[in-house]
Amino acid sequence: MAKSRQLKFLVLLVAAVGLLLLPEIMAVLARPRDEAWARVEQADTIRFAINPTSMPFDGLGSHGDFFGLDVDLANELARRLGKRAEFVIAGYDSLYDVLRVGQAEATISALPIDPEKLDGWAYSEPYFEAGQVMVGRLPEPEKTSAVSIAVEYGSAADIAARYLARRRAGLEIKYTSSAADALKAVVNGWSAAALIDGVSAKQLLPQFPDLQIVEQVTSTPYAIAVWGESGQLLAAINAKLAEMKRDGTIQRMVEEWMRK
């Protein structure tokens, strides 16, 4: 009798645990299949959509060879996943659609995170910050109190500077013909600071040892995009990106390509 009661108790316990876990079980069963990850697991490749028109991130050689920061990043990411990267050329307007129809598993193409795309697609953790930065002379406080700021006329920095001027009384905008000229304006004392994008800052600041970034004014993070149902693929990409940040691989790649 004792064994019979124990058996009944175990059956009831298992049933109770099953009822408690039923919502989680149903959620797992209802979760859409990650077809992109399934393709990656079954093949020896992972396909990246790319629009090779934006150096130093994406370029295409005369012999059909891809090069750039994004290309190196994708190749290393694929290697760490035990795969080989393949690149699928897509027009800029098609970089998302190719993921939806399964022509590529991920997109890497100097792609800024777009909140309006989050209903259908998902993004990895950012690997590059291309937003506008304030540059001033050394030494400077953490945030500049500049009363004049040099920008390239008609650029994204121009737009950001106008926005900034509406919120910082007395800020004067001075116009130049390029980001490099904006930095020169600070060096020669014509302007107290300059506003340039993150890519130009990485490329140009090594030429201006007396200048430094003193403030991140806007944020434009670049990330890898996947179809919204590709949760497993996204998790795998994020895990490898985290590895590459920890061991300095991404930083080395950025520094190498920004010098070219």
**Residue 247 sits in the same domain as residue 227:** yes
Percent of the chain with pLDDT over 90: 81
Q: In this structure, is residue 5 part of a structural domain? A: no
Q: Are residues 62 and 177 in the same domain?
A: no
Domain with residue 189: its CATH number is: 3.40.190.10
Mean pLDDT of all residues in 38-53 = 96
Range 165-171 average pLDDT? 90
Do 95 and 40 have their domain in common? yes
My answer on whether 96 and 204 are in the same domain is no
pLDDT of residue 169: 87
**Where does the pLDDT of residue 168 fall: very low under 50, low under 70, confident under 90, or very high at 90 and above?**
confident
What does pLDDT average to over the chain? 90
Q: How many domains does the chain have?
A: 2
Q: Does 1 fall in a domain?
A: no
Please indicate, yes or no, if residue 49 is contained in any of the structural domains. yes
14 has a pLDDT exceeding 70: no
What per-residue confidence (pLDDT) applies to 31? 46
Same structural domain, 212 and 136: yes
Domain that holds residue 138: 132-216
Using pLDDT thresholds of 50, 70 and 90, give the confidence band for residue 260: confident
Domain for residue 211, yes or no?
A: yes
72 falls within a domain: yes
Higher pLDDT, 23 or 72: 72
Q: What is the 3-state secondary structure (H, E, C) of the chain?
A: CHHHHHHHHHHHHHHHHHHHHHHHHHHHHHCCCCHHHHHHHHCCEEEEEECCCECCCEEECCCCCEECHHHHHHHHHHHHCCCEEEEEECCHHHCCHHHHCCCCCEECCCCECCHHHCCCEEECCCCEECCEEEEEECCCCCCCCCCEEEEECCCHHHHHHHHHHCCCCCCEEEEECCHHHHHHHHHCCCCCEEEEEHHHHHHHHHHCCCEEEEEECCCCEECCEEECCCHHHHHHHHHHHHHHHHCCHHHHHHHHHHCC
Grade residue 172 by pLDDT with cuts at 50, 70 and 90. very high
- The mean pLDDT of 55-66, rounded to a whole number, is 95
116 and 56 in a common domain: yes
**Domain check: are 228 and 211 in the same one?**
no
Model confidence at 29, pLDDT cuts 50, 70, 90, reads very low
Task: Tell me if 7 is assigned to some domain.
Answer: no
At residue 218, does pLDDT exceed 80?
yes
Q: Does 22 reside within a domain?
A: no
Residues 143 and 194 in one domain: yes
**What value does the mean pLDDT take over residues 31-50?**
91
Over residues 75-101, the mean pLDDT reads 97
